[in-house]
Structure 1
Amino acid sequence: MPRGLAHFSIVLAGLSIAFLPTPAFAQDRQSNDRQSKEWDVTLGMGAAVRPTFEGSDQYIVSPAPFVNVIWRDTVSLGVDGLSAYWSTENFRIGGGPTFGTGRTQNSSIFSQGDSRLTGMGDIPAAFGLKVFADYRIGPSSLPVTVNASLTKFTANGNDGVLVNFGLRLPYKLTPTTTLRGFVSADWADQGYMQTYFGVTAIQSINSGYAQYSPGAGIKDVNFGLGLTEKLNEHWSLIVNGRIAELTGDAANSPIVFSRTQAIFTSAIAYHF
C-alpha cells in the first residue's frame, strides 16, 4: 500500500473503530432543520474503550474523533463514509463509499488486533460500497426509525458482504438532554465470516488454532444507549455505549475469546 494511502487508512480506521458500531448521532436531527441551512457541520474529539479486536476479551483506549458534515440535506460525510441520499419527511434512501478497518496481528489504538492473532496474517483495510434506507414511524415526540444497510467491501482478502438492520429511538429527557436507544443485528456472507472468524489450514499451522470454516449467518446482535447533553448553542457532550453479542458460527470461532463485546465512547462536539 502506498505510504500516503496507508496514512489515510490509519486516520479512517481511527474514526471507524471509535464510532462506526453506533448509530450516527446527528441522524436524529429533524430534516426540516437541516434544510433551512446549506451546511450543517459537527466536529468533535473524545475517547473510546473497545476490544482489541472483534471477539477479544482484552480492551484498549483509542482516540474517538467525531465528524458529521451535511450539505443541503442530500450529501453527508461522517465516520461511516460519504453518502448521497434522497429523503422525505419520514423516509430516506441513499448510498456511497465507506471503509472497513481490517485487522492486524499487533495491538494499536488505530487498528483492530493483538499478538494472540500471530500467525493469522493481516486483514487488509478495505473501501466498500454501501446502500441504506431509513423509515421513521410514530409521533414526532417519540419517533422510531427502522433502518437497514448493505455494505460490499472491495479489497483482495477483505471482500465480504455485511447487512445491518435495526431500530433506533431518540427521546428528549429535557430541552437540552436527548437519550437514544438502539437495537440491531448484522448478517454476514460466507466470505466475510471466513475473513474475520475462519481459520484456514495454513493459518492453523502458523497460529496453532484449529482449522475452522464458518458459514453465512447472523454475526451479532447489538444493544446500545447514547446520551447527548447540549451545553450551549454550539457545544455538546456525547456519551455512548454498546453491547454486542456474537452469535452462531462467529461466536464458535476458535479466535473468539469472548462472545460479549462492549464499546464505550465519549466526546465533546462543536456544531457550526
Structure 2
Amino acid sequence: MSSLPPHLPPALSLLSALADAALKAGEVILRIRAEGLASGGLASARKSDESPVTAADLAAEAILREELARLLPGVPVIAEEAVAQGKGEAPADTFLLVDPLDGTREFIGASGEFTVNIGLVEAGVPSVGIVLAPAVNKLYAGATTAEGGLAFLGGNDAAPAGWTPIRCRPMPEKGLVAVASRSHFDPETSAFLAGLDIAESISCGSALKFGLVAEGRADLYPRFGTVCEWDVAAGHALVRAAGGSVRRPDGSALPYARTQADYRVHGFIARGREV
C-alpha cells in the first residue's frame, strides 16, 4: 500500500489508485474498439458458456491483474477471463472480483454502455467498487468504511478532487424509477415491474445500471437472470457506499466467493435508500 498517494485519506487513496488502474484498462479497450470499428468490425470468439470474448477483454484483464498485484500484493484476484481459462485464483477473506469488460455485447455492437468493474470483497461483503464506462466518460467510485460510505461520480480522471459526491435517493412509495438491462430484459423482470408503481423505466447496458441507482437517478435495478459475481461486486459496493442495498430477490444477503457454484449469482435487486 505504500505506493498509494500519501496525502489522501486511506479510502480515497485506494479509490484513486483503483480508478487509475481501471482507466489504464479503459484506454486499451477504447483503442482496440476504435481499431476494430475502423477496419469494419470487432472480432469475437465464444467461450465454453457461449458468451463472447474479444481481444479487448483479454488485454484489459492483463493490465488490471498487473496493476492490482502492484497495488494490493497478496490479495487474490478473481477475474472473468482467467476463470474461463481455468486459471482463477482461490478467494480468501479479502479478495478482488474483476470484470475487465462488462457488456461485451454492447462493446461488439458499438454501444458506449460497457464498463470496467473492480470490486473488493471483505468478509463476504463488497466494500470498495470502481465502475468505469470509458466510452461515455463516466467513472463511479464507492467505498464503505467504519466511518460510513463514500460514493462519487467523475469523468476519465483518477483524481478525487474532480469527483462529485453522490447518494442514493430515498425510495418513494409511488412513482418509482426503474432501470433494467438493455440486452437481458426478460418476462420475470417485466412481471416484477408490472406489480410496482413505476413512473419511468430506463434501459441501460452493463454495470452502469448500478451507477444510476447510486447517483439517485433510479430507485431500483432488478435482475432475475443468472450473472457472475464479477458482474455484481463493484456495483454492489458502489450502491452500498451510496446508501442503498443489493440483495437476492427474496431479500437475503447476496453471497460471494461461491467457487462451488462457479461464482454464479441467480438474481438480485439493487435498491436506493430505504425509508
| TM-score normalised according to structure 2 size | 0.26
Report the structure number with the largest CA radius of gyration.
Answer: 1
TM-score, normalised by the number of residues in structure 1: 0.27
Higher helix share: 2
Instruction: Report the structure, 1 or 2, having the larger strand content.
Output: 1
